[in-house]
């Protein structure tokens, strides 16, 4: 019997078992049945059990399949939360009978989550009240510390799939959008009222109503003062800093224009020259702030600020006298003795005291096979322990260790923006000098032609030159493009990334998780009965070796048989007696088979009663569609850097074009150096990778994109996140990025066109308040309208081709 | 024409009151979470045995700063 699991085949999804009642995933590995409901794993079923015990099954009625999958849930220990130093940092308020804490829970995503977390008091005794802030994914819990401890609350949240993410260094900062909205509301308020008070002037007031006109004008001044001093203060501040840095950005002409508008209008009113341009002034600020608000709104849903520290353990068991006590990792000192358990990350460089240990360094090197370490050897920070708990002696403080030093590398700190000049600033620079020169020339001309009009013309030129439409073009073009990308599983950090993407002319890929699928394919070749399969599964389930875990996942049904006489031989295999059958699984020699192992994939042989029954072939599958994508990219230099060994070279050769650079055995440092070299050759490099080990390279590249099969789970510092399934559209995304810079340039063109028309009015002295009040909004609206519509059309036509 | 002056004074006062109340409500955090409250009101209250904790809950000082 050949039992194949086609992980990605859509057919299997339709024909195979139902979706999990809890998390909605396919129940292909263990199909568990309880109360007539399907569950994909014990984790999901346990959550269901807990909820039904506590009469909380309404959870499932608010949103179908609301749970998060618990298959990959890491074992976490929250006992450190009860340490006084940690408690003091976390609690917002504490007394003997009342405490308040705020947790960040990344799993919050639907109504059911909200409902369950707000009914936490029914699940955990001692919780008084909990309230969820859905937008910030935070839950505030009030509890009675005499009844329940902080760690017990965290543990019971974890037990139902809502593990809090504790970050001790984080300062709870309020969102920065609020001042902007306040400024926007003040500007909007002033704009509406000034408009109302200016209308009588435009419609014509006769001589008898002079006094009213005066009153209206003074009210306009009063209403515009808060707009100048409060709403538009950022533009003046930015102008000041950019002048100090001797750089000109878009804010400089805006600030000059706003100042000219306000003071000219005030002068007009005070000296009875005219009604002034207050409606244009407040309208301008209002539109500009809308543009900025739109820009902020686009980014806020994504949190890119998690760094490697989120993946570090927060606390570790330290030996104190005879006892083990949880301590915060930052408090570890050289010489401390610590205990690390299965699947925990070693927080700092440490010497092994136990006999031996298997350490998975995939975080650091990308090599996924565990390394065997002997007594006295140094274990580096970032390694994850596989198997038995071990005891280690700390060698360095956490902050100085291997992984931290990689991250503290100087290149990481260098801001990219200094190297890259944004299109908008380039345009603004030329524009500003042109406007200044133009206003001086026209001023000089009018000085000789009619000196009384000189100041009028000069200020008119400065007013119409205010590049409001120019400033709106970029946020709306890029903002809409970011939304388009976001709808298609490609999330970018900010608009600058689109600009940098447009210039990309070299691509670097990571192998594992990028070119290949993270999930492995397991194929069994040989003959085993259904009963024997379940026995093999039971045996494999008792080992934590990565290959055993894959086998366990592969065989359906569950590990129901007790295992007797279990012997695990490290690096060879395991043997044991399951349901009266002596079974061995492991390497060729261990099992006693006489087949040649081939290099490209790992084999696990099975023998029952001393007879070799067959073997599991475990290989990582190529991502679907990746080959086509790479073929389309053949025009630009492409490279693949992998931390793994060369066993996959042949297969990679077939995927990549002939001229592609393929490198294996790459450390994170090598990857960074490689990208740096390409950049020094003048290439604009885009790096795609997953995993923390690529973080350096992602940061080093011009555009670093993290490939993730589950967004929100892993986001190293990067410029964007792409869903694994969308990687095949990479080429289209690059084209879209290029298209959006073209759209932006056309929008600039439209904006300049309006500026030239209004300059015509200005130099001839015909820029009346009415003309200004019409021209300025029209130019802004047409630029915003053009860029939004153009982005919509272009993205539809480009993305349609792929689907 | 004095009536217009009066009307403008009234309308501006009301507008400023509304602006002020908007700014106040924003500062006090009423716009922090625009999704939660909209679904929270739809949850059914389940008839649970009155919890002794409930009383403690109501007596607690609001420590929001």
- Residues in Cβ contact with A583 at an 8 Å cutoff, skipping those fewer than 6 apart: A535, A536, A539, A575, A576, A577, A606, A607, A608
What DSSP element (H or E) covers A2? none
A501 and A629 belong to one structural domain = yes
- Decide if pLDDT at A137 tops 70: yes
Chain A residues within an 8 Å CB radius of B28: none
Q: Give the pairing type, strands A703-708 and A720-723.
A: parallel
Nearest to A604 by CA among A519, A524, A527: A524
Please give the residue that has the higher pLDDT: either A316 or A307: A316
Residues of B in contact with A51 (CB under 8 A): none
Q: Determine the Cα–Cα distance for residues A706 and A782; give it in Å rounded to an integer.
A: 36
Instruction: Please give the Cα distance from B15 to A193 (Å, whole number).
Output: 9
Q: Are A276 and A219 part of one and the same domain?
A: yes
Q: Are residues A525 and A589 in the same domain?
A: yes
Look at strands A638-641 and A506-510 and give their pairing.
parallel
Closest CA to A3 of A536, A610, A579: A536
Substitution target in A57, A109, A114 with the highest count of B β-carbons within 10 Å is A114
Task: Name the residue facing A212 among B4, B15, B19 (closest C-beta).
Answer: B4
pLDDT at A462 over 80: yes
A569 within domain boundaries? yes
pLDDT reading at B65 higher than 60: no
- Decide if A209 touches B, using CB distance below 8 A: yes
Contact residues on chain B for A192, CB-CB shorter than 8 A? 15
Residue A75 has pLDDT above 70, yes or no: no
- What is the count of structural domains for chain A? 6
* B2 pLDDT more than 60: yes
CB A365 within 8 A of CB A338: no
Question: Taking 70 as the threshold, does the pLDDT of residue A707 lie above it?
Answer: yes
Contact flag B33-A186 (C-beta cutoff 8 Å)? no
Q: What is the CA radius of gyration of chain A?
A: 32
Do residues A101 and A153 share a domain? yes
> A478 falls in which pLDDT band (50, 70, 90)?
confident
List CB contacts (< 8 A) between B33 and chain A.
Answer: 132-136
- For the ranges A69-73, A187-191, A227-231, A569-573, the lowest mean pLDDT is seen at A69-73
Residue A522 sits in the same domain as residue A583: yes
Looking at residue A265, its pLDDT comes to: 92
pLDDT computed for residue A518 by the predictor: 58
Q: Are the Cβ atoms of A189 and B48 closer than 8 angstroms?
A: no
Report the 10 Å Cβ neighbour count for A518.
18
ipTM above 0.95?
no
Q: Name the least confident of A244-253, A418-427, A474-483.
A: A418-427
Banded model confidence at residue A411, pLDDT cuts 50, 70, 90: very low
In a domain, A590, yes or no: yes
Short-list A521, A561, A519, A523, CA closest to A542: A561
Mean pLDDT taken over chain A: 77
pLDDT above 80 for A177: no
Q: Phi and psi for A303 in degrees, rounded to 5?
A: -105, 115
Q: Which of A22-31, A105-114, A198-207, A619-628 has the lowest mean pLDDT?
A: A22-31
- Shortest distance between the Cα of B39 and any Cα of chain A, in A, equals 7
Q: Do residues A613 and A666 share a domain? A: no
Residue B14: CB atoms within 10 A of its CB come to 10
Please check whether residue A302 lies inside any domain of the structure: no
Residues 6+ apart with CB under 8 A from A606: A526, A528, A536, A583, A584, A585, A591, A612, A613, A614, A615, A616
Which pLDDT belongs to residue A185? Answer: 93
Alpha-carbon gap, residue A471 to A478, rounded angstroms: 12
Q: Which residues have CB under 8 Å from B41's CB, separation 6+?
A: none
Chain B contact set for A93 (CB, 8 A): 63
User: CA A277, CA A1: separation in Å to the nearest integer?
Assistant: 84
Domain CATH number, residue A703: 3.40.50.1000
Chain B residue with the nearest C-alpha to that of A138: B33
Helix (H, G, I), strand (E, B) or coil at B33: coil
Short-list A175, A114, A109, CA closest to A139: A114
Provide the pLDDT confidence category of residue A710 given band limits of 50, 70 and 90: low
Domain enclosing residue A691, as ranges: 488-516+623-738
Smallest CA–CA distance from B17 into chain A, residue = A189
- A566 vs A96, higher pLDDT: A96
- Read off the pLDDT of residues A246-278 as tens digits, 9 standing for 90 and up: 877 788 888 988 999 999 999 989 988 888 889
Q: What is the pLDDT of residue A655?
A: 80
Same structural domain for residues A571 and A589?
Answer: yes
**Do A562 and A601 sit in the same domain of this protein?**
yes
Is the minimum CB–CB distance between A132 and chain B shorter than 8 Å? yes
Q: Angle A688-A690-A693 (CA atoms, 0-180°, nearest 5)? A: 110
pLDDT of residue A691: 59
Q: Which pLDDT score is estimated for A367?
A: 53
Using a CB-CB distance cutoff of 8 angstroms, which residues of chain B are in contact with residue A182?
A: 23, 26-27
Q: Are A344 and A363 in contact (CB under 8 A)?
A: no
User: Same domain for A507 and A635?
Assistant: yes
Per-residue pLDDT, A253: 85
Mean pLDDT (whole number) for A327-341: 78
DSSP A80: G
Percent of chain A with pLDDT over 90: 8
Is residue A121 predicted with pLDDT exceeding 80?
Answer: yes
Instruction: Point out the least confidently predicted range of A92-101, A340-349, A712-721, A755-764.
Output: A712-721
DSSP state of A171: -
**Among A residues 213-232, those touching chain B with beta carbons less than 8 Å apart:** 215, 219
The pLDDT of residue A794: 92
- Residues in chain A, total: 803
Whether residue A665 is found in the same domain as residue A597: no
Pairwise CB contact (< 8 Å): B56 & A121: no
Alpha helices for B1-65 (secondary structure H)? 2-27, 36-40, 53-59
* Coil/strand/helix, residue A214: helix
Tell me the pLDDT of chain B averaged across its residues. Answer: 73
First to last CA, chain A: 37
Tally the residues of chain B: 65
Q: Which pLDDT score, from 0 to 100, does residue A516 have? A: 76
pLDDT at A237: 92
pLDDT band at A369 (very low <50, low <70, confident <90, very high): low
Of B5, B26, B31, the CB nearest to A215: B5
> Is residue A768 one of the residues assigned to a domain?
no
CB contacts of A219 in chain B (<8 Å) are 8, 12
- How far is Cα B60 from Cα A144, in angstroms, rounded to an integer? 11
Which of A328, A129, A12 minimizes the C-alpha distance to B62?
A: A129
Give me the residues paired with residue A582 across strands: A577
What span, in angstroms and rounded, lies between the C-alpha atoms of A492 and A509?
Answer: 18
**What is the per-residue pLDDT for A13?**
36
Separation between Cα atoms, residue A404 and residue A363, nearest integer Å: 12
Judged by a CB distance cut-off of 8 A, whether residue A115 touches chain B is: yes
Least trusted range by pLDDT, from A319-333, A414-428, A730-744: A414-428
Among the candidates A128, A159, A190, a domain finishes at A159
Q: Which of A381, A408, A435 is the last residue of a domain?
A: A408
pLDDT surpassing 60 at residue A746:
yes
pLDDT confidence tier of residue A669, bands split at 50, 70 and 90: confident
Residue A303 belongs to some domain of the structure: no
Instruction: Answer yes or no: pTM beyond 0.90.
Output: no
Closest CA to A560 of A542, A573, A576: A542
pLDDT in tens, A537-579: 777 776 666 667 677 777 766 656 777 777 777 667 788 887 7
Of the pLDDT bands very low, low, confident and very high (cuts 50, 70, 90), residue A51 is confident
- Confidence bin at A419 (pLDDT 50/70/90): very low
pLDDT at position A709 is 65
Neighbours of A681 (CB within 10 A): 10
* Structural tokens at position A474: 């970029």
Name the residue in chain B with its Cα closest to that of A196: B8
Written as one string, the DSSP assignment of A665-680 is S--HHHHHHHHHHHHH
- Residue-wise pLDDT for A592-643, tens only, equals 766 655 544 567 788 888 777 788 877 777 777 778 888 777 778 888 887 7
3 state SS of A209: helix
Domain boundary among A236, A259, A294: A294
Which of B4, B8, B19 is the closest to A185 by Cβ?
Answer: B19
Residue by residue, DSSP assigns A694-721 as: GHHHHHHSSEEEEEESSTTT---S-SEE
Identify whether A765 is part of a domain: no
pLDDT at A360 exceeding the cut of 90: no
The whole-number pLDDT of residue A220 equals: 93
Q: What is the pLDDT of residue A790?
A: 94
- Give the model's confidence band at A415: pLDDT under 50 very low, under 70 low, under 90 confident, else very high: very low
Looking at the predicted structure, is the pLDDT value of residue A303 above 70? Answer: no
Q: What is the mean pLDDT of residues A16-28?
A: 66
Q: Taking Cα atoms as reference points, which of A196, A99, A226, A200 lies closest to residue A150?
A: A99
Is the per-residue pLDDT at A312 higher than 60? no
The count of C-alpha atoms lying within 13 angstroms of the C-alpha of A388, restricted to the half-sphere facing its C-beta, is 13
Contact B26 A186 (CB under 8 A): no
Per-residue confidence band for A31, with pLDDT thresholds at 50, 70 and 90? low
Q: How far is CA A321 from CA A318, A324, A337, A340, in A?
A: 10, 8, 10, 17
- Residue A8 confidence (pLDDT) above 60: no
Distance CA A79, CA A76 (A): 9
Predicted pLDDT of residue A315: 67
Give yes or no for a contact between A780 and A751, defined as CB atoms under 8 angstroms apart. Answer: no
Domain membership of residue A731 (yes or no) is yes
What's the pLDDT score for residue A278?
92
pLDDT at A742: 92
Average pLDDT score over residue span A102-109: 79
Least confident among A111-120, A349-358, A379-388: A379-388
Mean pLDDT within A356-373: 68
CATH of the domain at A349: 2.70.150.10
Tell me the nearest-neighbour CA distance from B36 into chain A, angstroms.
5
| Cα dihedral: A697, A702, A707, A712 (round 10) | 100
Residues of B in Cβ contact (< 8 Å) with A115:
43
Burial class of B37 by CB neighbour count within 10 A (0 to 12, 13 to 18, 19+)? exposed
C-alpha–C-alpha distance, residues A379 and A361, integer Å: 10
* Calpha distance A707→A722 (Å, rounded): 5
Examine residue A415 and state whether it is found in any structural domain, yes or no.
Answer: no
Q: According to the 3-state scheme, what is the secondary structure of A295-324?
A: HHHHHCCCCCCCCHHHHCCCEEEEEECCEE
Q: Are residues A642 and A499 in the same domain?
A: yes
Residues A604 and A652 in one domain: no
């Amino acid at each position: 019997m050949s039992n194949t699991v086609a992980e990605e085949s859509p057919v299997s999804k339709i024909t195979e078992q139902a979706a999990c009642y809890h998390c909605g995933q396919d129940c292909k590995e263990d199909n568990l049945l309880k109360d007539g409901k399907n569950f994909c794993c014990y984790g999901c079923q346990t959550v269901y059990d807990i909820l039904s015990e506590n009469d909380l099954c309404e959870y499932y009625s608010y949103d179908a399949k609301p749970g998060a999958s618990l298959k990959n849930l890491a074992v976490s220990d929250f006992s450190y939360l009860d340490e006084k130093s940690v408690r003091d940092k976390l609690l917002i308020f504490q007394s003997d009978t009342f405490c308040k804490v705020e947790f960040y829970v990344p799993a919050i995503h639907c109504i059911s989550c909200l409902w369950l977390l707000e009914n936490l008091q029914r699940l955990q005794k001692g919780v008084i009240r909990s309230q969820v802030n859905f937008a910030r994914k935070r839950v505030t819990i009030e509890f009675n510390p005499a009844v329940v401890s902080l760690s017990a609350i965290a543990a019971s949240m974890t037990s139902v799939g809502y593990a809090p993410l504790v970050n001790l260094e984080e300062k709870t900062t309020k969102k920065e959008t609020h001042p902007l909205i306040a400024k926007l509301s003040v500007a909007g308020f002033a704009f509406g009222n000034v408009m109302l008070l200016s209308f009588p002037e435009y419609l014509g007031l006769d001589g008898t109503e002079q006094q009213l006109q005066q009153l209206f004008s003074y009210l306009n001044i009063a209403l515009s003062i808060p707009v100048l001093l409060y709403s538009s203060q950022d533009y003046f501040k930015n102008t000041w800093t950019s002048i100090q840095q001797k750089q000109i950005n878009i804010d400089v002409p805006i600030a000059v224009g706003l100042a000219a508008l306000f003071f000219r209008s005030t002068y007009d009113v005070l000296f009875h020259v005219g009604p002034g341009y207050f409606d244009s002034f407040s309208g301008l600020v209002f539109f500009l702030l809308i543009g900025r608000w739109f820009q902020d709104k686009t980014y806020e849903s994504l949190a890119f600020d998690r760094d490697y520290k989120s993946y570090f353990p927060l606390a570790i068991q330290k030996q104190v006298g005879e006892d083990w006590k949880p301590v915060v990792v930052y408090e570890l000192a050289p010489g401390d003795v610590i205990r690390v358990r299965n699947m925990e990350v070693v927080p700092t460089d440490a010497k092994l005291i136990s006999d031996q240990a298997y350490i998975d360094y995939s975080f650091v090197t990308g090599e996924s096979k565990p390394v065997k370490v002997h007594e006295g050897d140094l274990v580096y920070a970032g390694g994850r322990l596989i198997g038995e708990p071990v005891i280690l002696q700390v060698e360095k403080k956490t902050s100085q260790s291997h992984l931290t030093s990689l991250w503290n590398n100087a290149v990481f700190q260098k801001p990219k923006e200094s190297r890259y000049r944004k299109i908008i600033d380039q345009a603004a620079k030329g524009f500003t000098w042109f406007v200044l020169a133009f206003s001086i020339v026209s001023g000089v001309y009018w000085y000789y032609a009619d000196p009384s009009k000189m100041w009028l013309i000069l200020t008119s030129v400065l007013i119409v030159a205010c590049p409001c439409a120019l400033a709106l073009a970029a946020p709306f073009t890029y903002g809409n493009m970011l939304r388009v990308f976001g709808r298609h599983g490609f999330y970018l950090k900010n608009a600058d990334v689109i600009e940098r993407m447009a210039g990309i002319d070299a691509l670097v890929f990571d192998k594992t998780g990028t070119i290949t699928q993270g999930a492995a394919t397991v194929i069994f070749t040989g003959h085993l009965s259904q009963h024997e399969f379940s026995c093999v599964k039971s045996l494999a389930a008792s080992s934590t070796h990565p290959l055993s875990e894959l086998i366990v996942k592969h065989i359906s049904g569950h590990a129901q048989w007790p295992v007797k006489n279990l012997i695990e031989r490290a690096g060879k295999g395991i043997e044991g007696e399951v349901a009266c059958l002596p079974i061995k699984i492991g390497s060729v020699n261990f099992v006693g088979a006489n087949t040649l192992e081939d290099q490209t994939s790992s084999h696990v042989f099975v023998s029952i009663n001393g007879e070799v029954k067959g073997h599991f072939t475990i290989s990582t599958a190529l991502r679907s569609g990746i080959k086509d994508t790479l073929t389309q990219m053949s025009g630009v230099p492409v490279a693949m850097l992998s931390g793994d060994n060369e066993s996959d070279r042949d297969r990679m050769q077939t995927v990549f074009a002939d001229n592609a650079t393929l490198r294996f055995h790459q450390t994170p440092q090598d990857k960074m150096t490689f990208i740096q070299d390409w950049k020094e050759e003048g290439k604009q490099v885009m790096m795609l990778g997953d995993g923390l080990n690529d973080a350096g390279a992602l940061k080093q590249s011009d555009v670093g994109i993290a490939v993730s099969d589950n967004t929100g789970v892993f986001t190293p510092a990067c410029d964007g996140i792409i869903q694994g399934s969308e990687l095949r559209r990479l080429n289209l995304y690059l084209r879209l990025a290029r298209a959006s810079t073209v759209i932006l340039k056309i929008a600039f063109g439209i904006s300049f066109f309006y500026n030239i028309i209004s300059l015509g009015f200005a130099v001839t002295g015909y820029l009346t308040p009415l003309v200004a009040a019409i021209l300025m909004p029209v130019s802004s609206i047409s630029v915003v309208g053009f860029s939004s519509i153009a982005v919509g059309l272009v993205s539809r036509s480009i993305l349609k081709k792929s689907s | 024409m004095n009536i217009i002056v009066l009307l403008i004074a009234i309308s501006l006062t009301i507008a400023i009151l509304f602006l002020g109340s908007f700014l106040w409500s924003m500062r006090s955090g009423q716009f922090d979470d625009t999704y939660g409250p909209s679904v929270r009101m739809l949850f059914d209250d389940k008839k649970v045995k009155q919890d002794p904790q409930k009383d403690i809950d109501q007596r607690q000082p609001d420590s929001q700063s």
